[in-house]
């Protein structure tokens, strides 16, 4: 009574290339996702794993929390290491929380 019946237009036929256009759009979005999101993130993860495996005793490191210290002990059986902040203070953290290995002498220059 209040809603009129909707009639479809007679001349609205689908285009022959319409199915392929949607597949091409999905492929383009997939490529954009790969090159702008997935590839850079996997590159950063690989660089961080290389950083964690290259750490050695005596390296000066920067943590994600902003602490700068010298590695005094690396535990081989688990993923923890000890960092000496100064002569009296040692902190135990996970290797994952190291953000950078600093050049030698950085602590002395601060």
pLDDT at 2: 58
Sort 103 into a burial class: Cβ within 10 Å, 0-12 / 13-18 / 19+. exposed
pLDDT at 16: 65
Do the Cβ atoms of 80 and 69 come closer than 8 Å? no
How far is residue 82's CA from residue 94's CA, in Å, rounded to a whole number?
Answer: 9
Q: For domain 56-109, which architecture applies?
A: Roll (2.30)
| Boundaries of every domain in the chain | 16-54, 56-109
Tokens of 30: 């997939």
pLDDT at 78: 87
Question: Residue 64's CB: how many other CB atoms inside 10 A?
Answer: 11
pLDDT tens string, the chain, 110 residues long: the values are 555 555 554 555 556 667 888 899 999 999 999 999 999 999 999 998 998 888 999 999 999 999 999 999 998 888 899 999 999 999 999 999 999 999 998 888 88
**What global pTM score does this model have?**
0.66
pLDDT at 77: 85
Do the Cβ atoms of 52 and 40 come closer than 8 Å? no
């Amino acid at each position: 009574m209040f809603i009129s019946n909707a009639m479809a237009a007679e001349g609205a036929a689908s285009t022959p290339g319409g199915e392929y256009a949607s597949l091409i759009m999905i492929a383009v979005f997939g490529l954009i996702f790969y090159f702008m999101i997935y590839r850079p993130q996997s590159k950063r993860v690989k660089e961080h794993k290389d950083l964690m495996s290259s750490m050695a005793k005596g390296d000066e490191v920067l943590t994600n929390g902003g602490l700068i210290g010298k590695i005094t002990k690396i535990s081989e059986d688990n993923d923890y290491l000890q960092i000496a902040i100064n002569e009296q203070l040692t902190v135990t953290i996970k290797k994952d929380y190291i953000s950078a290995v600093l050049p030698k002498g950085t602590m002395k220059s601060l």
